[in-house]
Amino acid sequence: MPELPEVEVILRGLKSLIGDKILYSIIRCYNLRWPVSSEIYKLKNNFILNIKRRARYLIIKLEYGNILIHLGMSGSFYLFDKTEKVIIKKHDHIDLIFSNKILRYNDPRRFGFWLWTKNLENNKFLQKLGPEPFSKKFNDNYLFQKSKFTRKNVKNWLMDNKLVVGIGNIYANEILFLSKIHPNRLTKSLNTQDCCNIVNNTKKILLESIKKGGTTIRNFSKINKKKGDFSKELKVYKRELEKCLFCHSYIKRILNNKRATFFCPKCQI
DNA sequence: CGAAAAACCTGGCAGC
DNA sequence: TGCTGCCAGGTTTTTC
């Protein structure tokens, strides 16, 4: 479900829990992508010292370690008051219970995970990640250098977390459309201007999406169950056979690595 | 070795 | 009403 903007929107919602105490947890399903760590179902009176995001991971920092959460394709949160009557639904796998609130995690496909990690520095998931898209390290020079050492097409390359984190299928399509680059171009064919366009449009699109509360296609919602409004801003994703914003050609759909790719065959070369 | 495909899951929807 | 096949915001593991 979530690419970087969606996880960032969730993070900003969860920040209100910093300083609160987790009284205990309820695990209704232990088998997510990997088994939920035992430290997580044994939580008792733990203060949340911080909550942050790295790539598409959420990190809840407690006194003696961290909860590392990934939402996979279909994970979502709902934060609500204990006074609210909320019925437990199918796939409501985990609750964190606070004195006045409950944070509930739902994940139909169970590709997400909740793992305990004592130190973030040597965590195997966090170690192999590339730079954040909003960092200075993600710039045109960096991209241009990297483009020379792989034989991937540009779209699959942008979705590789070792190159840059957080760009998934929706935003890869949108970034290449604004950059006027064909998704099947080999990275070796990119020039410095192409790389500059990719960097600028990545920052622009991701930032704009965060402002609009992310993109809801089906599952994604903010922690108050409201949908993200960036769906309305999508120019090519899921817009097969609609007209290109710039040239009025028909948007085309193809597959890359079995994933849907949308582009304007005239503008993107 | 790097790139592509398979695997992990469930549910919704189109078409028959 | 089924049933079948395809599709879905991701990432690791396996295969070639």
**Which tens digit of pLDDT belongs to each residue from A244-266?**
999 999 999 999 999 999 999 99
Comparing every residue's Cα with the C1' atom of nucleotide C6, the nearest one is: A258
Active site residue A174: no
- pLDDT, one tens digit per residue, over A25-52 is 999 999 999 999 999 999 999 999 999 9
List beta partners, residue A79: A103
Q: Check if the beta carbon of residue A81 is closer than 8 Å to that of residue A40.
A: no
Looking at residue A223, its pLDDT comes to 95
The two three-digit tokens of residue A202, written as one number: 């990545």
The stretch A22-27 carries a mean pLDDT of: 98
CA A163 to C1' B15, in angstroms, rounded, equals 41
- Going by pLDDT thresholds of 50, 70 and 90, the confidence category of residue A1 is low
The stretch A133-158 carries a mean pLDDT of: 98
Q: Which nucleotide is nearest to A107 (CA to C1')?
A: B10
CA A247 to C1' B9, in angstroms, rounded, equals 40
Q: Which nucleotide is nearest to A220 (CA to C1')?
A: C9
Q: Which nucleotide is nearest to A256 (CA to C1')?
A: B4
Active site residue A3: yes
Q: Which of A3, A6, A8, A39 is catalytic?
A: A3
Name the average pLDDT for chain A: 97
The stretch A84-103 carries a mean pLDDT of: 97
Question: Among A121, A99, A124, A11, which residue's Cα sits nearest to residue A60?
Answer: A11
Question: Among A245, A55, A254, A248, which residue's Cα sits nearest to residue A153?
Answer: A254
Q: Is the pLDDT of residue A157 over 70?
A: yes
Q: Is the pLDDT of residue A127 over 80?
A: yes
Cα(A65)–Cα(A118) distance, integer angstroms: 4
The stretch A53-81 carries a mean pLDDT of: 98
Looking at residue A114, its pLDDT comes to 98
Looking at residue A219, its pLDDT comes to 84
CA A69 to C1' C9, in angstroms, rounded, equals 16
Q: Check if the beta carbon of residue A106 is closer than 8 Å to that of residue A93.
A: yes
Q: In this prediction, what percent of chain A has a pLDDT beyond 90? A: 99
